[in-house]
Chains A and B, each alone.
Chain A
């Protein structure tokens, strides 16, 4: 059983040469008076099948389309051509802590981010203590988020994100922050997810991490 199927997926971005969000430049472009963008093929004819329960590592140099690939699978952006089929619930996070509000407290943010990721409010309330415990932020529950360090933010984001009841996890370079002890905790979570038969797509530059977990690794190249 395949969890994710990509058929001939391509994505072309129009990269503007100049700031081109206004009506004037749109009209000029419409009447073909200026060619102020160039096409950038982020992905070209990607065919990929990911089995259920597979841990897929995705590597490649910067700008080779790794994040674009995950965004297309997550339905955040649409492919220019091709088809994407997904079986199962996707955990909709590509980056930890997007949507965190610095002016709100840790507690308020746990609820805000949790709901955004599709966790039931009752469920968040039930798991609140374990989220805070995992993030090691017991002393900061009522602290405004803007007063936390970036490491603390990453820990909080990760702790909430792993509560998502999803079949497929898309993970984009989330372990770059956090100290060694916390990374070890994250690895044990990965192992747990793997045992539970979740499908995981991990984008990383960390070869040892990929080697440790991935059943299969794909490498994206720059356009030739």
Chain B
């Protein structure tokens, strides 16, 4: 990454950040409140109404919400960010890959803050942090690469087909329920469970949960999700680069 690329990314990310909380009273607190409120709603529904019986369900759920929330927000923000930069792309040449990367980085910083909130919760629970907890960073890298690859594909396609954003919104909803965010994988009938492992997000989510809640580092989850993430990242990146030549004409 050369100097120009880095500074451009920083500048885009900073602008995104400033514009997002411009004029709102609570400002950045919103990105902390958002997952907390989602958590409160889902917790009431599934723990009080549906009466899920599970150890540490609140931590289990909160981890699921912030990880899923990152994937959900990052892909959608990237799509919007590319779309709103169309006027610059029509006039100025700069590496188009920066836009999506910058947008993902901004969202990822928000995710890290949410993760600190999670660690704070952990301190007040019976669970203890171990050396193993640090290895969750490995899964975060997978999550970032996977999300970036998909962001590239979705954001690029959206410039060509404006329908993409509507389709993506529905797909996100579908995947929210196909990913064990609120329920545990153990509740899924064994005959279906096999298919869940083809969803790299499931591997990452379960991998991180295993680290914090079970104190296990699942090597096979890690390596398979790394492989998935790399494949998705590189396909997304090259597809996007191919499309980006025409961005100025499509928008």
Contact = CB atoms under 8 A, between A and B. Distances in A.
A118 B6 CA distance: 11
A76 B162 contact: no
B161 A22 contact: yes
Interface residues of B, number: 29
Contacts of A98: 87-88, 90-92
A92 B92 contact: yes
Contacts of A177: none
Contacts of A23: 161, 163
A26 B94 CA distance: 28
- Of A76, A92, A112, the most chain B CB neighbours within 10 A belong to A76
Contact of A99 (B19, B88, B249): B88
Nearest to B90: A76
Contact of A71 (B11, B18, B248): B248
A164 to B, nearest CB: 11
B52 interface: no
Interface residues of A, number: 31
A1 interface: no
Interface in B77-91: 85, 87-91
A21 B19 CA distance: 28
B245 interface: yes
Contacts of B85: 99
B93 A76 contact: yes
B198 interface: no
Interface in A113-131: 115-118, 120-121
A78 interface: yes
A28 B44 CA distance: 48
Nearest to B246: A78
Contacts of B15: 101, 104, 108, 112
A95 interface: yes
Interface in A92-147: 92-95, 98-99, 101, 103-104, 108, 111-112, 115-118, 120-121
Given A103-B22, A120-B7, A22 B163 contact: yes
A26 B159 CA distance: 13
A121 B161 contact: no
Contact of B93 (A13, A75, A108, A120): A75
Contact of A111 (B11, B22, B87, B161): B11
Contact of B92 (A24, A93, A108, A120): A93
A209 interface: no
B3 interface: yes
Interface in B3-42: 3-4, 7-8, 10-11, 15, 18-19, 22-23
A121 to B, nearest CB: 5
A201 B61 CA distance: 60
Nearest to B88: A99
Nearest to B85: A99
A103 B84 CA distance: 14
Contact of B3 (A108, A117, A120): A120
7 contacts: A21-B162, A22-B161, A76-B91, A94-B91, A99-B92, A116-B11, A116-B92
The 7 closest A-B pairs by CB, nearest first: A115-B11, A99-B88, A98-B91, A75-B93, A21-B162, A92-B92, A92-B93
Given A74-B93, A76-B90, 20 more contacts: A21-B160, A21-B161, A71-B248, A74-B92, A77-B248, A77-B249, A78-B245, A92-B92, A94-B92, A99-B88, A104-B15, A112-B15, A115-B7, A115-B8, A115-B11, A116-B8, A118-B94, A120-B3, A120-B7, A121-B7
Interface of B: 3-4, 7-8, 10-11, 15, 18-19, 22-23, 85, 87-94, 160-163, 245-246, 248-250
